[in-house]
Amino acid sequence: MGILPIHEALRVAKEEGLDLVEVSPKSDPPVCRIMDFGKFKYQASKKLQEARKKSKVFQVKEVKLRPHTDEHDLNFKIRHIQKFLDKKNRVKVVVFFRGREMAYMDMGYELLKRVAEEVEEKGTIEQPPRQEGRNTISMLLVPK
């Protein structure tokens, strides 16, 4: 419609039974649009709802280990990690240390390295093993 005074634009919108909506207030002159604002908000909410429906939510599963975890228990947890990766979930593997175990932090790094090697065909390391706090080491795995 071109450049109109505000009262003229409001009159035109009222005659058509629509709303005058300011689209770009910072431009010179400000850009306004004549539309049904309720319908616009409804369509925007439907688009957002549809986008949420199509997006896939990835969970971060956490598997906790100790530096002296037995061989069988470790294999059991590795199988769980592989199942999580098959279901397209991220997996955070955490090694906890207590008391005198904190003197052997290198055992935790070796343990996480072994876990990463075992699940190599199902997932990759997104965040390499690193110390979090004074008694935990963690690593983040993502599915391939």
What are the structural domain ranges in the chain? 6-52, 60-143
Nearest CA among 141, 61, 138 for reference residue 94:
138
| pLDDT confidence of residue 55 | 77
| pLDDT confidence of residue 53 | 84
Residue 100 DSSP symbol: G
Look over the chain and give the mean of its residue pLDDT values, rounded to a whole number: 90
pLDDT < 50 positions in the chain: none
| pLDDT confidence of residue 142 | 93
Tokens, residue 140: 């983040």
* pTM of the predicted structure, to 2 decimals: 0.61
Query: What CATH number belongs to 60-143?
Result: 3.30.110.10
* Cα–Cα dist 31/34, whole Å: 10
Equal fold, 6-52 vs 60-143: no
Contact status, residue 60 vs residue 89, Cβ threshold 8 Å: yes
CATH architecture of 6-52: Roll (3.10)
Tokens, residue 8: 């003229």
| pLDDT confidence of residue 111 | 93
| pLDDT confidence of residue 4 | 85
Contact status, residue 125 vs residue 116, Cβ threshold 8 Å: yes
| pLDDT confidence of residue 73 | 95
Residues found in the chain:
144
